[in-house]
Amino acid sequence: MFRHKSGQSPTNSAVDQYYSLAASFFLLFSNSTTLMILDVVRKKEMTCLAISKKLGIAPETVLSTLRSMEQEGILVSHVRSRNTFYGISDPNVLSAFDQILKLPAKKLNRTGSPKKELQANRKKGNMSSETDSVAFVR
C-alpha cells in the first residue's frame, strides 16, 4: 500500500480513494459473468432478459451484475418502451476489456484447446467476433 513520507498509511486521502475506486473497478473484471455481459453488449444495448437468454445465465444473476456494473460506471441504462436497456458507458471500457482479455489469450494460444470452444460459441451467436479475434491475437 502507498505510504506517506511519515510512514503512515494515507487513510481517507485522495490517493487512497483513487486506489479504492480502481480496486472496485478491477474487482468487477474478475467476474466471468461481467466479462460475458461486456462481450454481448459491446455492439448494441440489450435488456437484462435478452442478456440472460443469450448467455444462459439466470436473470437474477445478470441483473445483479448489471447493477454492479452500472454503479461502477461501466454500463449505463435507459428505459425505452417499459424495458431497461444496458449499454457500454464509455468506449474506453471496451479498450480496457480487450486489453485484459489479451493476457489469458496468450496462455490459451499456447495450449490451443479452448480456442475451438470459443470459436464454436461465436458461431452459435453466444459471443462476439471481437472476443474471438482479441482473445487469439498472435
Amino acid 28: pLDDT:
82
Domain that holds residue 34: 14-135
> Please, what's the b/e burial string for 26-57 (b: 16 or more CB within 10 A of its CB; e: otherwise)?
eebbeeebbebbbbbbbeebbbbebbbebbeb
**C-beta separation of 47 from 86 below 8 A:** yes
Structural domain includes residue 49: yes
CATH code for the domain of 18: 1.10.10.10
- Checking if the pLDDT of 132 tops 50, the result is no
30 part of a folded domain? yes
**DSSP SS3 for 84:** strand
* Separation of alpha carbons 121 and 107, rounded Å: 19
List pLDDT tens digits, range 22-70: 888 888 888 889 999 999 999 899 999 999 999 999 999 999 999 999 9
Residue 82 falls inside a structural domain: yes
Tally of CB atoms within 10 A around 62: 24
Cell 480496486 belongs to residue: 23
pTM: predicted TM-score of the whole model, two decimal places: 0.67
